[in-house]
Amino acid sequence: MLSIACPPAFAHLDQAYLERLAATVLTGEGISPAVEISLVITDNEGIRALNRQYRGLDAPTDVLAFPMLPADGEAFVIPPDHTVQLGDIVISYEKVREQAVQLRHSERQELAELFVHGLLHLLGYDHERDEDAAVMAEKAETYIRSRSHFHASKEV
C-alpha cells in the first residue's frame, strides 16, 4: 500500500500509477507488494528542513528516503497479519519541475525516477561507492523502463 501525503497544489498526482510502479520494483526485487510505503510530496523549503535535520546539509535536495527496516540485513520477526512498513520517501515537487526542464523530459518521468530512487534506498541500496551507484542506477533504469506500470495512466 502506498500512502501519499501532499499539499493541495500537488493533489493531481496519479497515485495508481505510483502504486503500479512500486509493485514493479518490489516484484522485481522479490518482495511482496503487500508493504506500506509513505510518500510525502513537499516543496524545496520542506525538504531543505529535513535535509538539514537528518543529513546536516542546509540545502534542498530532490529526494530523501527514511528506511524502517534494519540497514544491516538483521532479521526481525513480523507478526503474520502485520503489514511491513518499508519507510518514507520525501520528494520536492519543485525539484521535480526544475529537473524535468533541465533533463528535457516530463514531470511524470522525473517523479518516477525520484520515486524509484527513493524506493531502492528503502530496500537497502545506496550510491556511496561507484560500484553501488552503478548497480542502483541500472536497477532504477530497468524498473522505470518496464512497461508493466504504464497502462491506463494519466499525466503525473
Q: CATH number, domain at 135?
A: 3.40.390.30
pLDDT (mean) for 106-133 = 90
The answer to whether position 113 is within a domain reads yes
Residue 26: all three cell numbers together? 518490489
Q: What is the C-alpha separation between 117 and 21, in angstroms, rounded?
A: 12
Domain housing 119: 2-70+81-147
The answer to whether position 109 is within a domain reads yes
Tens of pLDDT, residue by residue over 53-100, are 999 999 999 999 999 876 665 555 666 666 788 899 999 999 999 999
What pLDDT, on a 0 to 100 scale, did the predictor assign at position 80?
Answer: 66
The answer to whether position 152 is within a domain reads no
Assign 154 a pLDDT band (cuts: 50, 70, 90): very low
DSSP string of 106-153, one letter each residue: -HHHHHHHHHHHHHHHHTT---SSHHHHHHHHHHHHHHHH-GGGTTT-
Assign 129 a pLDDT band (cuts: 50, 70, 90): confident
Assign 153 a pLDDT band (cuts: 50, 70, 90): very low
Assign 130 a pLDDT band (cuts: 50, 70, 90): confident
Residues 89, 122: contact at Cβ < 8 Å? yes
Q: What is the C-alpha separation between 104 and 119, in angstroms, rounded?
A: 23
Assign 152 a pLDDT band (cuts: 50, 70, 90): very low
Assign 5 a pLDDT band (cuts: 50, 70, 90): low
**2-5 and 35-42 as β-strands: parallel, antiparallel, unpaired?**
parallel
The answer to whether position 153 is within a domain reads no
3 state SS of 60 = coil
The answer to whether position 119 is within a domain reads yes
The answer to whether position 76 is within a domain reads no
The answer to whether position 75 is within a domain reads no
Q: Into how many domains does the chain fold?
A: 1
Name residue 40's beta-bridge partners: 5, 90
The answer to whether position 100 is within a domain reads yes
Tens of pLDDT, residue by residue over 17-48, are 888 899 899 999 988 777 888 899 999 999 99
Question: Whose CA is closest to 96, among 45, 154, 43?
Answer: 43
